[in-house]
Amino acid sequence: MGYRNTGIMTNDLERLIQFHRNRLGLKIIWQMTDSSEYINKIINLKNGIAKFAKSKMNDGSMLELLCFPSHPSSSHCLSIINVSICYIAIRIKSVADTYDHLIKNKITTPSEPILSSEGIAKLFSI
């Protein structure tokens, strides 16, 4: 077994693609729309339409961005202590430079970069 990618659901795929491309500097390497029998079976939908995009990071890891325009859902503002996928960790060259870039582009973060409790990495969340 090995890590393949992490999926991020959205109701606005184009906006999320623009964020990944223009704000995070990631490459969008693949996009497609799928309404096949396969996609409907795997996600247990009828007449479902899925739109996918994959963004690639410098280390080769992938994020899959997806939406289901045929079955839009509402966003949920949940605390980090809820049962769910809590976060996606990505490595970057400079935490300070990336944080400053996000702030300059009016992207708010819950905290400034802080050293992990293990003392091995500086972290912040978006």
User: Looking at the structure, do residues 109 and 57 belong to the same domain, yes or no?
Assistant: no
Output the CA angle 29-51-28, nearest 5 degrees: 15
Query: Nearest CA to 11 among 48, 61, 51, 44?
Result: 51
Same domain, 63 and 117: no
Domains: count for the chain: 2
pLDDT tens sequence across 84-117? 554 566 777 888 898 898 899 888 887 788 877 6
What is the pLDDT, as a whole number, of residue 88? 62
Report the alpha-carbon distance of residue 55 to residue 58 in Å, rounded. Answer: 10
- The CATH code of the domain that includes 68 is 3.10.180.10
CA–CA distance from 16 to each of 41, 102, 105, 112 (Å)?
Answer: 26, 15, 15, 23
Collect the ranges in the chain with pLDDT lower than 50. 1, 86
pLDDT value of position 17: 94
Both 15 and 57 in one domain: the answer is yes
Could you tell me the residue range of the domain that residue 110 belongs to?
92-126
The rounded Cα 73 to chain-centroid distance in angstroms is 17
Looking at the structure, tell me whether residues 63 and 118 fall in a common domain. no
pLDDT at 122: 80
63 shares a domain with 2: yes
